């Protein structure tokens, strides 16, 4: 399926649950995170129809995410279901890794071929400041178990934040010397929780220069303004790594996503930068996103969604839903407008799946 801008769209990111066992400061409030009710969440039967429709419409790559996908009750069955289609070439997972040590083998067996583990700090006490729940030593065990299970590649997603963990970027880069790990630095995106009723045109959201001037997210997590202040560019991170290890060499791995990829000379792994805000990655975007409650989003940033759940509950089948996939592809925007101040206002990262 090719969209209006000539991009081939074949990759679906699926948020299997909006629940999470962490409360990362940039993603969820510490308390009072409201979750989708069971009734609003797609049932396993409904999810299967949507996934089959996606395959019918031409999707060949799937990433299971959340919230925390390892908390999703039918995760292994979902993976096996996808593996049952000969058209499906790639099944991956993005996880916080807390339950991964015990699950890596079964994920691999069910059909996951590669995995991204989010980890923002290698310091256990700092982990409590950022993720606020859980234990970073378990995440590291999950990373080791993934390597042991033969998941390949194993990537580490690290959101670098000024004054919070940016002093560790060199330590993260160093991991790629001794391990076949692929570290991806992700730029912090000012997606705030629950900006009730705020629209893009709300004058309170933008100043004349397009910067966000107010945020209305729940207390207990970073506000959009704070996220802007904490952001650190890919160029800045790269410079620090090059100061420590010398010039990075261009690298590539199969299954590369939007990251620009580099390597320290002689390393086993790679280093990449996913800079949604400072660089325009949209020209190569190949994906749609399915939310936990069954809405199909053409872009991480655009709130125009197709309500597949209502269609399913009114009797739609695989062919109808496949048609909706085509419709959403036909309206996929050329790019996002984050740098200009765009904010998705109806969804959180944990519902969309990052
Ligand atoms: N719970 C899983 C995890 O943390 O990997 C999957 C869902 S999480 C929403 C997916 C990714 O989104 C994670 O790598 C997380 O760091 C990233 N993320 C969440 N909020 C973000 C934000 N405001 N800016 C940038 N990345 C964010
Ligand atoms: Fe949970 Fe992932 Fe959000 Fe952290 S980033 S709170 S682990 S969903």
Which pair of structure tokens corresponds to residue 237?
A: 């991170």
Backbone angles phi, psi at 129, to 5 degrees: -75, -35
Least confident of 42-56, 93-107, 331-345: 331-345
Classify the C-alpha dihedral 331-273-348-226 as positive or negative. Answer: negative
Ligand 2 midpoint to CA 216 (Å): 20
| Residues contacting ligand 1 via CB (< 6 Å) | 20, 26-27, 65-68, 94-96, 118, 157, 159, 186, 188-189, 191, 349-350, 353-354
CATH of the domain at 301: 3.20.20.70
Q: What is each CA distance from 44 to 31, 72, 354, in whole angstroms?
A: 28, 10, 21
- Nearest-CA residue for atom 10 of ligand 1: 354
Q: Is residue 3 part of a domain?
A: no
Least confident piece of the model among 36-50, 111-125, 215-229: 215-229
Host domain of residue 253:
11-352
Measured CA to CA, the distance from residue 147 to residue 104 in angstroms comes to 9
Residues with Cβ within 8 Å of residue 85, at least 6 apart in sequence: 52, 55
**Ligand 2 atom closest to Cα of 27?**
3
Mutate which of 16, 25, 27, 95 to test ligand 2's pocket (most atoms within 8 Å of Cβ)? Answer: 27
* Cα 55 to middle of ligand 1, angstroms: 26
4 belongs to a structural domain: no
Mean pLDDT of the chain: 87
Range 6-10 average pLDDT: 94
- pLDDT range class, residue 344, cuts 50, 70, 90: low
Q: What is the pLDDT of residue 302?
A: 72
Rg (CA), the chain: 19
Q: Which of 349, 352, 353 to mutate to test the pocket of ligand 1 (most atoms within 8 A of CB)?
A: 349
User: What is the count of structural domains for the chain?
Assistant: 1
Q: How far apart are CA 47 and CA 65, in angstroms?
A: 14
Alpha-carbon gap, residue 21 to 176, rounded angstroms? 27
Atom of ligand 1 nearest to the CA of 349: 9
Asked if residue 164 has pLDDT above 90, the reply is: yes
Atom of ligand 1 nearest to the CA of 276: 25
| Axis crossing angle, helix 75-83 with helix 100-110, rounded to the nearest 10 | 20
- The helix/strand/coil state of 157 is strand
Helices (H), 150-300: 169-178, 224-230, 234-245
Q: Is residue 338 part of a domain?
A: yes
Q: State if residue 294 touches ligand 2 by the CB under 6 angstroms criterion.
A: no
Beta-carbon neighbour count of residue 144 at 10 Å?
14
Q: Which atom of ligand 1 is nearest to the CA of 68?
A: 1
2 in a structural domain: no
Confirm or reject: Cβ of 10 under 6 Å from ligand 2: no
Determine whether the shortest distance from the Cβ of 68 to ligand 2 is under 6 A: yes
Query: Is the distance from CB of 13 to CB of 353 less than 8 angstroms?
Result: yes
CA distance 51 to 81: 9
Tens digits of residue pLDDT in 201-212: 433 333 333 333
Structure tokens at 316: 């739609």
For atom 22 of ligand 1, the residue with the nearest CA is 189
Q: What's the rounded Cα separation, in Å, for the pair 23 and 21?
A: 7
The bridge status of strand 249-250 relative to strand 260-263 is: antiparallel
> How far does residue 22's CA lie from ligand 2's centre (Å)?
6
Tell me the backbone φ, ψ of residue 154, rounded to 5 degrees.
-105, 120
Ligand 2 touching residue 27 (CB < 6 A)? yes
- Element at 310 (helix H, strand E): helix 308-313
- Structure confidence at residue 236 (pLDDT): 93
52, 328 in Cβ contact below 8 A?
no
Centre of ligand 2 from the C-alpha of residue 86, in Å = 32
Tell me which residue of 301, 337, 298 sits closest to 206, measured CA to CA.
Answer: 337
Establish if 5 belongs to a structural domain.
no
Q: Which of 27, 117, 119, 351 to mutate to test the pocket of ligand 1 (most atoms within 8 A of CB)?
A: 27
Domain annotation covers residue 110 = yes
CA–chain centroid gap for 93, Å, is 9
Q: What is the pLDDT of residues 67-117, one digit of tens each?
A: 999 999 999 999 999 999 999 999 999 999 999 999 999 999 999 999 999
Residue 1 lies in a domain: no
254, HSE (Cβ side, Cα atoms, 13 Å): 6
pLDDT of residue 177: 97
- pTM to 2 decimal places: 0.91
Q: Report DSSP state, residue 69.
A: G
pLDDT digits (tens, 9 = 90+) for 251-289: 988 765 656 899 999 999 999 998 776 656 788 889 999
């Amino acid at each position: 399926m090719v969209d209006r801008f000539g991009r081939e769209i074949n990759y679906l990111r699926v948020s299997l649950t909006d629940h999470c066992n962490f409360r990362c400061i940039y993603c969820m409030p510490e308390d009072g995170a409201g979750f989708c009710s069971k009734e609003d969440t797609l049932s396993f039967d409904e999810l299967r129809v949507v996934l089959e429709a996606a395959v019918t419409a031409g999707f060949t790559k799937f990433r299971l995410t959340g919230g925390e996908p390892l908390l999703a009750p039918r995760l292994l069955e979902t993976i096996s279901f996808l593996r049952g289609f000969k058209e499906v070439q790639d099944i991956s997972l993005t996880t916080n890794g807390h339950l991964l040590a015990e699950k890596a083998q079964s994920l691999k067996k069910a059909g996951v071929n590669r995995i991204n583990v989010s980890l923002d700090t290698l310091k256990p006490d700092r982990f409590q400041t950022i993720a606020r729940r859980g234990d970073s030593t378990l995440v590291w065990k999950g990373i080791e178990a993934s390597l042991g299970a033969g998941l390949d590649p194993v990537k580490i997603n690290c959101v670098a934040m000024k004054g919070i963990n940016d002093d560790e970027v060199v330590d993260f880069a160093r991991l790629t010397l001794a391990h076949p790990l692929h570290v991806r630095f992700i730029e912090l995106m000012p997606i705030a929780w629950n900006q009730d009723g705020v629209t893009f045109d709300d004058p309170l959201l933008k100043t004349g220069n397009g910067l966000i001037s107010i945020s209305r997210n729940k207390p207990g997590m970073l506000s959009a303004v704070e996220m802007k202040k904490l952001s650190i560019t890919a160029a800045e991170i790269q410079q620090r790594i090059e100061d420590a290890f010398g010039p990075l060499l261009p690298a590539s791995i199969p299954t590369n996503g939007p990251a620009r990829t580099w390597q320290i000379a002689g390393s086993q792994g790679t280093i990449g930068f996913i800079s949604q805000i400072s660089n325009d990655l949209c020209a190569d975007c190949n994906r749609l996103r399915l939310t936990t409650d069954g809405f199909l989003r053409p872009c991480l940033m655009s709130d125009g969604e197709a309500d597949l759940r209502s269609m399913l509950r009114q009797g739609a089948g695989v062919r109808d839903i496949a048609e909706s996939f085509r419709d959403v592809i036909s309206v996929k925007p050329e790019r996002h407008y984050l740098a200009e101040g765009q904010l998705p206002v109806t969804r959180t990262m944990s519902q969309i799946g990052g």
